[in-house]
Amino acid sequence: MDKRLAQRVMTLQGMPLFQELNEADLEKLAQALQTRTYNRDEIIFRQGDPYRELYLVIKGKVRVYKISPGGEETTIAIFSTNDVIGELAALDDKPRSATGKAMSPVTLLIMSQQAFLDHMRTMPGLALGMARVLAAKLRWTAAYAESIAQFDAAGRLLHILLVNNDRYGEMLEPGRRYRINLGLTQSDLASMVGARREWVNRILSDWRRRGLVEFDRGVITILDLPQVVAERDSRIEANMAGDEW
């Protein structure tokens, strides 16, 4: 096994999608992969594209968002190292349902739809891994839907921050302080909850003053996790009463 192939196998071993595969299977998969790099703000795929490749994030962060007929962007999810993107288009043979854009310099491993499906048919462990990936994304979708249904805009934003903290948060103080370094702008946060950037700026300033959340150049720090959860939960009542944002 040459050095580049060995490095790819090692990379795949660290991804949840491939946890059930032995080294021989990983080597077969590694041979079917291509490396592709993207600059910050470069489009990786577009909503409606017919291309159905599978993307594995090796480095960097990717924002996936929907574009309305009026051109407005709604962020669906942020993906980072070891995440999988594009499995739905590869599985159901339909065009891309969203647009993917590099939030930073990004390195991806890419597998063609045909290679992915061929390996799924011969590697039960890959099918099991994909089922787990889909289950995790279904949980994320349920959490996103819950935030829309239950909370006002402030509650939705806190809910999304908490979900991302579960996925990507770095513990600074057990049970209390956590850092989420996804490189999100205030405009990104606004697009996640259907609000204006100016409103996000005001609410972040308020949360910082109250010792809940700090935002600094794309890095979000949860200053008091129990209080953030309590504030999020209190926004259910605010949603019932109506809220101007």
**Does 56 or 72 have the greater pLDDT score?**
56
Residue 238: what pLDDT? 54
**Does 240 or 54 have the greater pLDDT score?**
54
- Under DSSP, the state recorded for 183 is -
List, in sequence order, every residue forming a beta bridge with 84; answer none if it has no partner: 56
Residue 242: what pLDDT? 53
Rounded percentage of the chain residues whose pLDDT exceeds 90: 63
Mean pLDDT of the chain: 90
Distant-in-sequence, close-in-space partners of 65: CB < 8 Å, separation ≥ 6 = 73, 74, 75, 76, 98, 99, 101, 191
Query: How confident is the model over 36-45, as pLDDT tens digits?
Result: 999 999 999 9
Query: How confident is the model over 83-121, as pLDDT tens digits?
Result: 999 888 888 878 888 999 999 999 999 999 999 999 999
Domains of the chain: 3-144 (2.60.120.10), 152-241 (1.10.10.10)
**R_g of the chain, CA atoms, integer Å:** 19
